[in-house]
Amino acid sequence: MFSTYTKLNHLAGLIILAIVFSLSHTLEFLYSSNQNQYFLHGLAQGGLGYLYRDWLANTIDPTPLFSALVKYTYIYFHEYLFYFYYGILSGVFLYSLTGIAGKIFPSDYYREKILLLVFSLLIIYSKAFSDFTSNLTGIDTGWILTSGIAGQYFPGSYLQPSTFGVLLVAAIGLFLHQKTSRAVVCLLIAATIHPTYLLSAAILTVSFMVATFRQDQTIKRPFFIGLSALLMALPITLYVMIMFSPTASEIYTNSQSILAQYRIPHHAIPGQWLGTIVYLKIVLVSIAIWTVRKTTLCTLLSIPFVTGLLLTIAQVITKSNFLALLFPWRVSAFLFPISVVIILANIINVLFVKFPFFLKKGRVQLVVIGGVVLVVIVGYGIGSMRNDMKLRTDRVEKPVMNHIKETGKAGDVYLIPPDTTFPVIFEDFRLYTGLPVFVDFKSIPYKDVEVIEWYTRLQMAKAFYRTLDMGILKTLVNNYKVTHIIVPADQTGFELLPSLESDYRDNCYGVYQVKTDRLKN
């Protein structure tokens, strides 16, 4: 009975954390940013519009399990369930962080310390805190304190494969609480849903093995931990090795260069993100590891930290695109949040030692103050989400996309402006309209020949918008079946092309339909 009651309490706590975190941190609406890439395969397979005809939707899927989740949720349930998935994962994240902190807190005033830690984390992760620090100092302290380096982070503010990285934190928490089998399962779920976590999962598995060996002084349990992890990781590892193996040496090398140097240098090239903030984060992680040097947590953090650091140094020295695309620094996405929790936990311990009378007698007041703060950050978050919805509704691209959504039909393929800035204009065109596009900068494939094809398409689109060359237009129509072209209202010359006929125009964009009979002439 007690066990059931305890489990229900834990479940209730997780749900409450999920709701409060999602509202205070703010949840972005479907479909935002990276969702336009990672939901494409699943929604195309699930029957959204005519996306099954889209070129990118038919490339090799880098996250097949996530796409399956998207597909079957869309077919059998409702897309709003994606918000629920995100909420549960964010709750797991905070719950796991508090579980890790629980190993740092002594038994006296344990609940009070956990409560204070939860309040602190919710504030740090809140939209209100980020906006406040940004407006006050010009620096988004909230982002700095909650993300790793090179733009690596979780849970973020919307569901995507990387959100499942919270299970890496859960794995560490479970291992600390002697639940090794569950910890390994969490590692492998994260890596299977988002294969880029395979390296992080492998490093953490080694950490578990080392920590277990130090505890048992025998190789039996470490061996079985490693073997079970290897067997569970085998399906997704084989999938990646087979589906994304090099087609040819030169093609593979060129595709890696395109991805690392052209498309995602902000994630892949240390020269793009190394700086003062990164060095300060390295120092902070080092301090956190030092403070837990006599515990198992030190082993679990120091091995990923040293491995990630050495591989990063190796990439900087060798300039290897292969190493860059392994993202060895991605371990920072779990190292840094845990390090912040370790430091917060130690600060809270000191507070309870230095001010015992105030904290003992002021528990009710602290709860009331914490409650008020939570109401404020949740209210601010809800207000921010309402503003975000208004901004999304008022976007200048919305009228033209609404027109296309209402009039689009099977066989339509749209050429959209090849914007290479962030956020990318029309990045959500596919999932909003349900119609295929020729190419866009935001969403990319990962198989080497498909990366080359993506780059070729992008350069062709850029060249056509720049030159209005009829030869390129004929190639787009004859080889790629482009039927419509979206044109910024301030770009002239399209109206002079006899093969194009105006289909729609507003103050910001126009749509031209390709008349193939005129093109042949």
pLDDT in tens, the chain (521 residues): 345 555 566 677 778 888 999 999 999 999 999 999 999 999 999 999 999 999 999 999 999 999 999 999 999 999 999 999 999 999 999 999 999 998 888 777 778 888 889 999 999 999 999 999 999 988 899 999 999 999 999 999 999 999 999 999 999 999 999 999 999 999 999 999 999 999 999 999 999 999 999 998 999 999 999 999 999 999 999 999 999 999 999 999 999 999 999 999 999 999 999 999 999 999 999 999 999 999 999 999 999 999 999 999 999 999 999 999 999 999 999 999 999 999 999 998 888 888 776 666 666 777 788 888 899 999 999 999 999 999 888 899 999 999 999 999 999 999 999 987 777 789 999 999 999 999 999 999 999 999 999 999 999 999 999 999 999 999 999 999 999 999 999 888 888 888 999 999 999 999 999 998 877 65
Largest CA distance in the chain: 90
CA–CA distances in Å: residue 273 to residues 133, 156, 287, 424: 21, 19, 22, 20
Q: Is the peptide bond before 155 cis (omega within 30 degrees of 0)?
A: yes
According to DSSP, the residues that pair with 487 across neighbouring strands are 510
Q: What is the pLDDT of residue 368?
A: 82
User: How many other β-carbons are positioned within 10 Å of the β-carbon of residue 395?
Assistant: 12
The size of the chain, in residues, is 521
Q: Cα(336)–Cα(143) distance, rounded to whole angstroms?
A: 11
Residue 506 DSSP code? -
> Do the strands 484-488 and 414-415 form a parallel or antiparallel pair, or are they unpaired?
parallel
* Closest to 430 measured CA to CA, from 76, 58, 48: 48
Q: What is the pLDDT of residue 43?
A: 98
Q: Cα(474)–Cα(41) distance, rounded to whole angstroms?
A: 29
Residue corresponding to tokens 């609406």 = 29
Q: What is the pLDDT of residue 2?
A: 42
Are the C-beta atoms of 69 and 189 separated by less than 8 Å? Answer: no
Q: Cα(484)–Cα(503) distance, rounded to whole angstroms?
A: 9
Identify the three-state secondary structure at position 437: strand
Q: What is the pLDDT of residue 359?
A: 67
* Closest to 439 measured CA to CA, from 49, 39, 56, 45: 56
Q: Give the amino acid at 319.
A: K
Residue 29 DSSP code? P
What residues contact 131, with CB distance under 8 A and at least 6 apart? 380, 384
CA–CA distances in Å: residue 136 to residues 129, 141, 146: 10, 10, 18
Are the C-beta atoms of 377 and 122 separated by less than 8 Å? Answer: yes
Element (H, E) at 414: strand 414-415
Q: What is the CA radius of gyration of the chain?
A: 25
Element (H, E) at 103: none
Q: What is the pLDDT of residue 3?
A: 56
- Interior angle at CA 327, CA 323 and CA 330, nearest 5: 150
What residues contact 215, with CB distance under 8 A and at least 6 apart? 296
Q: What is the pLDDT of residue 384?
A: 95
